[in-house]
A and B are shown apart, each in its own frame.
Chain A
């Protein structure tokens, strides 16, 4: 099925929200389509968490409309299709992980079986442990189990892998991929760009309460003209930094890393300046660099250009 013809499960249309003098959302449009993993990226204060809170009915938009399964997010029936993993939440300390899974499962019409929820979240070893005795990473795993146990059609994951070790993170990624394969839609907010790069079908980049770029990971990368030039050279880093269209230079021993909007020009000058230059490599910027460029302040951008 073509992406454009997919049903929209959740949407924000022209949503505005301010807290006192601070504008959190400034006319945000956002669509979550059936079966996709949408990653919402943006610097702190971009409005990601507020956007999710409005989609979940936790906050009221000042203007615009939020829809969840074609209903108001305040509608209990809409939230029965949703699983949530929030960033700042503490759960009842004295309950065991198994108790919590059973308690949350009871809110949903057709939850996963207990055994399946436990297995999919990879929390077999935590089931009989009181929540308070868990490490930070184990708490995230338990919260992930609570997010998926209701067999939701739409899953909100806010910074899910913070504090996880590599194995736990791989397990969670594998489960997330499996869920998407089963047709679950996922909204992932993350600070780990590589996480979005590894998992997302579509990326929305937010800044200052608006969506500033939207598309596949490849689309977003292509929006960005910056490239990375790496090589081993004796040319002085400070001198290179003064060349036109160079945004950043990092030296590491003999190696030097240059970020530029004019890779061809920089390579020509590098070769002219140092005949002994070796290990030359030119790459398109990763999502990380794209993200930095898209969300940087206009003033800084002018200085860099």
Chain B
């Protein structure tokens, strides 16, 4: 070994570092009730209450049952990414964790990759719970394969959710990031017509919300009536994601 040599990092160990980072990020958030309870329990409670119980006999109509299922699942899928990035990036920026990690030889992008994978893990758990609820008490009678296809389509919503969260987390101060994330999350869900049909001005601007596009993608994947072309929705979500990430990166690279 010459004097200035540092052992090289084999590819297998780099991959392992990404996986271990994602696993520990998920583990710590499952162990953080302030994160895991709202993210996992709220969609379940809201869907049971507003989607099933309060709709009474109306849920026996397949269109209503499916509408509620798609709406609340889209809501549930967006949560982990939005809050995982929105609040945590702001808080971790503030507490010096990011500085410490930047001093470590953490592989490039592992910090964000870990959060993205964590969001997938949480979103998968949420979807599994909501699908279970939908078929057991939600009067959703779609075949298992169709439900799986819808779940797969909706899982892609994790990415734009992370982008929205990253945008909030990069700009909002740690003290108010949670408030911004909550307002965005609820606003986005209600104003895109996830839970009730829209009319007038709100209906005209529903396309500005990622949740609207994701719900249309999910409906198309499930063979349900949907608006517009699925590919247009995918392209719009991809565009929104790119713009939000670019804005966040600009802010983070300036101030860290």
**Which residues in window 1-50 of B have CB below 8 A to A?**
3-10, 13, 16-17, 20-21, 24, 27-29, 31-32
A79–B105 contact, CB under 8 A? yes
Q: Which of A78, A103, A109, A110 has the most CB of B within 10 A?
A: A103
Task: Give A134 Cβ to nearest chain B Cβ, in Å.
Answer: 15
Q: What is the CA–CA distance of A69 and B108 in the complex, to the nearest angstrom?
A: 19
Residues of chain B with a CB closer than 8 A to A82's CB: 103, 105
> Residue B24 contacts which of A81, A90, A99 (CB distance < 8 angstroms)?
A99
Interface residues of B in 52-111 (CB under 8 A from A): 95-97, 99-100, 102-108
Is there contact, CB below 8 Å, between B4 and A9?
Answer: yes
Separation of A108 and B6 alpha carbons in the complex (Å): 10
For B99, list chain A residues within 8 Å (CB).
58, 86, 89
Chain A nearest Cβ from B254, distance in angstroms: 12
What is the CA–CA distance of A89 and B9 in the complex, to the nearest angstrom? Answer: 26
The docked-state distance in angstroms from the alpha carbon of A79 to that of B100 is: 12
- Cross-interface CB contact of B29 among A84, A94, A104, cutoff 8 Å: A94
Q: Which of A7, A34, A94 contacts B28 (CB 8 A)?
A: A94
Q: Which residue of B lies closest to A150 (CB)?
A: B105
- A86 engages B24 (CB within 8 Å): no
Q: Determine chain A's interface SS by DSSP, over half rule.
A: loop
Assuming the contacts A77-B8, A89-B99, asked whether A99 and B105 have C-beta atoms less than 8 A apart, the reply is: no
Are A99 and B27 in contact, CB atoms less than 8 angstroms apart?
A: yes
Choose among A92, A99, A150 the residue with the greatest number of B CB atoms under 10 Å from its CB.
A92
| A88 interface residue per 8 A CB criterion | yes
Asked if A107 meets B4 with Cβ closer than 8 Å, knowing A92-B28, A95-B27, A95-B28, the reply is: no
A86 adjacent to B96 (CB under 8 Å): yes
Does B97 contact A90, Cβ atoms closer than 8 Å? yes
- Chain A CB count within 10 A is highest, among B17, B28, B104, for B104
Q: Is the CB of B10 within 8 A of A109?
A: yes
CB <8 Å contact, B9 and A109 = yes
Q: Is the beta-carbon distance between A106 and B4 smaller than 8 angstroms?
A: no
Could you tell me the distance between the alpha carbons of A89 and B96 in the complex, rounded to whole angstroms? 5
Q: Do the beta carbons of A104 and B96 come within 8 Å of each other?
A: no
A109: chain B residues at CB < 8 Å are 6-10, 13
In Å, the complex CA distance between A92 and B95 comes to: 10
Nearest-Cβ distance from residue B158 to partner chain A, whole angstroms: 21
Shortest CB distance B121–A (Å): 15
Contact call B105/A86, Cβ cutoff below 8 A: no
Is the C-beta of A76 less than 8 angstroms from some C-beta in chain B? yes
Chain B hits for A107, CB < 8 A: 17, 104-107
CA distance in complex: A150, B13 (Å): 13
A80 touches B6 (CB 8 A): yes
In contact, B105 and A92 (Cβ under 8 angstroms): no
Complexed CA–CA distance, A106 and B13 (Å): 7
Which partner residue on chain A sits nearest B16 by CB separation? A106
With a CB–CB cut-off of 8 A, which chain B residues contact A150? Answer: 105
Q: What residues of chain A lie closer than 8 Å to B108, measured between beta carbons?
A: 76
Complex Cα–Cα for A107 and B13 (A): 8
**Minimal Cβ-Cβ distance residue in B for A34:** B3
The interface residues of chain B lying within 8 Å CB-to-CB of A89 are: 95-97, 99-100
Q: Are A103 and B20 in contact (CB under 8 A)?
A: yes
A7 to B5, CA, bound (A): 11
Decide if A70 is an interface residue (CB 8 Å cutoff).
yes
Distance between Cα atoms of A57 and B99 in the complex (Å)? 10
Answer whether residue A273 sits at the interface, using C-beta atoms and an 8 A cutoff: no
Provide the residues of chain B in CB contact with A221, threshold 8 Å.
Answer: none
- Residues from chain A with a CB closer than 8 A to the CB of B16 are 106
| Residues of A close to B7: CB separation below 8 A | 80, 109-110
- Whether the pair B20, A106 counts as a contact (CB closer than 8 A) is yes
Residue among A76, A94, A95 with the highest chain B CB neighbour number at 10 A:
A94
Query: Please, how many angstroms separate the alpha-carbon atoms of A106 and B3 in the complex?
Result: 24
Q: B4, B6, B102 — which one has the most chain A CB atoms within 10 A of its CB?
A: B6
Asked if A84 contacts B31 (CB within 8 A), the reply is no
CA distance A58 to B99 in the complex (A): 7
6 more A-B contacts (CB under 8 A) besides A9-B4, A86-B100, A106-B20? Answer: A7-B3, A80-B6, A80-B9, A103-B20, A103-B24, A109-B7
Top 8 A-B pairs, shortest CB-CB distance: A81-B6, A7-B3, A94-B31, A109-B7, A79-B105, A94-B28, A80-B105, A106-B20
Pairs across A and B, CB under 8 Å, 17 listed:
A57-B102, A69-B4, A77-B9, A80-B6, A80-B7, A80-B9, A81-B6, A82-B105, A86-B103, A91-B100, A93-B28, A94-B27, A94-B28, A103-B21, A104-B104, A107-B106, A150-B105
